[in-house]
Amino acid sequence: MQIFKSENKKSNALPLLAVGTFGLHVFTLLLLIFHGSMLQQLRRQLTPQSLVQLVDGRVITADPQENLERQPETIRRFVAETMNLMLTWSQQQPPTTVWEISSQLVADDFKQKMKSQVINLNPDSQFENVNRGTENVLVIQKISQPTKIGNGQWKVEIFANQLTFSSYDKLGKSTSFNKQILVRAINEPATSLPNAPLPSHFAVYRLGEARLEIYNVCEIQDKNCSGNSN
């Protein structure tokens, strides 16, 4: 008889336990919704609005626009380090791998043309397969101050040489790389890190934090260099 009563009490406790657990889940869900609402309100409070003065004298407030301004030294550093990464390779860092990583800093609609320019820079070098002992290094002589050519767009002139060394040519061969590099500001970084990143991935990811991308490259003497890469 006592065993029956004990089992009866256990069976009666199960529905209560289920109801209590369900109630706890509902309370947790409501708490999360409340916290989410509070975070949204806090985000709106912490995001300052801009004061806009209209032509007719009225004043309104508006949400801030995307920042398309970059410091000149940030632009110069982005161009220098990007081109250095892109045009320096060896058997340990083959050109195909270097291009795959560094091309994240190039606009999507310009990647194919940029790759062709990199391959044709030194026709004697092997882009797909690098011989043992062969190494290409970009040596930069000068980078100009950025010239603003549009809203969030700049042109930088770079004067450099790509040096090619091999096991049978220790003195190396020099190929000039004198170009106009056109860069523009972007809203979000275009770079990402894979699950097993290489040092080059970290370097490109760090450069991507500047939120810039290369969208055209022209010869240094081209007077009509513009955003049209065709």
Domain boundary among 10, 30, 62: 62
> What pLDDT band is residue 4 in, cutting at 50, 70 and 90?
very low
Percent of the chain's residues with pLDDT above 90: 40
Q: Tell the residue number behind the tokens 């010239």, with chain if given.
A: 147
82 and 53 belong to one structural domain: no
Residue 27 has pLDDT above 90, yes or no: no
36 and 91 belong to one structural domain: no
- Which amino acid does the sequence have at 142? K
Cα separations (Å) of 225 from 135, 212, 220? 31, 19, 9
Question: What is the pLDDT, as a whole number, of residue 60?
Answer: 55
Residue of 26 and 190 predicted with greater confidence:
190
21 falls within a domain = yes
pTM of the model: 0.70
215 falls within a domain = yes
Percent of the chain's residues with pLDDT above 70: 66
CATH code of the domain covering residue 113: 3.10.450.230
Query: How high is the mean pLDDT of the chain?
Result: 78
33 and 81 belong to one structural domain: no
> What pLDDT band is residue 132 in, cutting at 50, 70 and 90?
confident
Domain boundary among 29, 44, 62: 62
Question: What is the pLDDT, as a whole number, of residue 45?
Answer: 53
pLDDT per position as a tens digit, 192-223: 898 988 889 999 999 999 999 999 999 999 98
Residue 42 has pLDDT above 50, yes or no: no
89 and 182 belong to one structural domain: yes
> Could you give the number of structural domains in the chain?
2
Residue 157 has pLDDT above 90, yes or no: yes
227 falls within a domain = no
166 falls within a domain = yes
Q: Give residue 140's domain range.
A: 72-219
Question: What is the pLDDT, as a whole number, of residue 165?
Answer: 83
82 and 152 belong to one structural domain: yes
Domain boundary among 62, 81, 102: 62
Provide mean pLDDT across the span 90-101: 88
173 and 140 belong to one structural domain: yes
